[in-house]
Amino acid sequence: SKQANSRSNMQALRALARPVLRLGRAYSIQMPEETKHKIASNRLAVIGAGKMAEAIIGGMLRSQTLDPGQITVSDVNRDRLDFLKETFDIRVARDNVAAIKDADLVLLAVKPQSMPHLMPLVFNRFASNALIISIVAGYSCHDIAEGTGVTAVVRSMPNTPAIVGKSMTVWTTNGGVSDAQKIETKAVLGSFGSELFVTDEQYLDMATALSGTGPAYFFMIMEAMIDAGVHIGFPREMAKSLVLKTIEGTALLAIASGAHPARLRNDITSPGGTSASALYEAERGGLRTVISDSVWAAYRRSLEMGGKNSCVGPGRYIQQGLTLTPHQVEKMLEAAVEGAAGLSRRRGEPGHHHRS
């Protein structure tokens, strides 16, 4: 019935809004029952012990996807290894090759700049049936397969809300990943939030810019709103509480309504009101353009990290089949002007004859 559906929706909203507390060890989150799924893999090796690795391990343990004794993490940072061992009661190692030995599931969770050093060390050292799930920005399935010698590779892009079990992870696979391994991957990535499989790998660089980097945009907006609240007279903690709860409620409203954000914004913008005045200034200041340019900049950077052509999108120019940045165009124009000036000077020198 409609009343039952309404009650179900309200329960879902309350679950989303449930406060998440760090209780000294792991993040205390009640995961939805449907995410609990034991996978067939016997051993998981995690290369990298950063915050994303922590979030993913926590999600897998909470959803009972794997048991602590099945997980080994390797990293050069002894403090992070000690922390993860104490927090999750998992195995740790400082030797990547030792960590991946006999592991049929491997999570690559290192910084992109670490990959050129890492891949030669672990090349062809994986189990023959190993599946690699990578969260390394910019590195394609082909790059990882070629650099590690592993046939089955998943490329994914989660985001930092994974720490509280609310990641939005986009993922794809190469041709070496079996249907059974896809099911396992879905369970792993779904254990710390939502996941979306795409068949076209180009969406991964786009997802890196939109959802992967997205939390940084919202944190900056939060920061700016909190500072503005302090500027108009609120105590900082009060301003912070107002902003965070407003953003939380706004996100839940957008999810629950399913309406386009433009419609939701229009519904609360009265003629001559405070929202209309505020939005006028935001438009006049180019807020939409700044956000769009930020997403494009993140997209280009993701392409650059993967060694791809990053001269794409607004403000890029095509000249004789080459894509040029505005800076490159400016330099070309400067060189052309200097060349023309030099030619004029030479023509005015004694003994220089202009050929007609």
pLDDT at 42: 83
Listed residue (225, 207, 226, 220) closest to 159, CA to CA: 207
Residue 3 region, left (φ>0) first, then alpha (ψ -120 to 50), else beta?
A: alpha
Which residues, in sequence order, are bridge partners of residue 132? 106, 153
298, 209 contact by CB (below 8 A): yes
Rounded distance, CA 325 to CA 315, Å? 7
- Contact yes or no for 145/176 (Cβ under 8 A): yes
Residues whose CB falls within 8 Å of the CB of residue 160, separated by 6 or more in sequence, listed in order: 51, 52, 55, 167, 215
Per-residue model confidence as pLDDT tens for the chain (356 residues): 545 554 554 454 444 433 333 323 333 334 444 445 567 678 999 999 999 999 999 988 988 889 999 999 999 999 999 999 999 999 999 999 999 998 999 999 999 999 999 999 999 999 999 999 999 999 999 999 999 999 999 999 999 999 899 999 999 999 999 999 999 999 999 999 999 999 999 999 999 999 999 999 999 999 999 999 999 999 999 999 999 999 999 999 999 999 999 999 999 999 999 999 999 999 999 999 999 999 999 999 999 988 888 888 887 765 445 555 666 667 777 877 887 777 777 776 665 555 54
- In whole angstroms, how far apart are CA 176 and each of 173, 212, 313, 349? 8, 25, 32, 69
Identify the DSSP state of 198.
Answer: -
Rg (CA), the chain: 26
Tell me the C-alpha distance between 18 and 316, whole Å.
44
- Of the chain, the end-to-end C-alpha distance in Å amounts to 90
Contact in structure between 272 and 179 (CB atoms under 8 Å): no
Q: Which two tokens stand for residue 187?
A: 């369970």
Which residues, 6+ apart, have CB-to-CB distance to 345 below 8 Å?
Answer: none
Do 215 and 204 touch, CB atoms closer than 8 A? no
**Is-contact 299 313, C-beta < 8 A?**
yes
In degrees and rounded to multiples of 5, residue 170 shows phi and psi of: -105, 135
Q: What DSSP character marks residue 195? A: E
Amino acid making up residue 315: G
Residue 305: which residues within 8 A CB-CB, separation 6 or more? Answer: 112, 137, 138, 139
User: What local confidence, expressed as pLDDT, does residue 288 receive?
Assistant: 95
CA distances (Å), origin 146, targets 2, 96, 98, 124, 150: 54, 18, 21, 10, 8
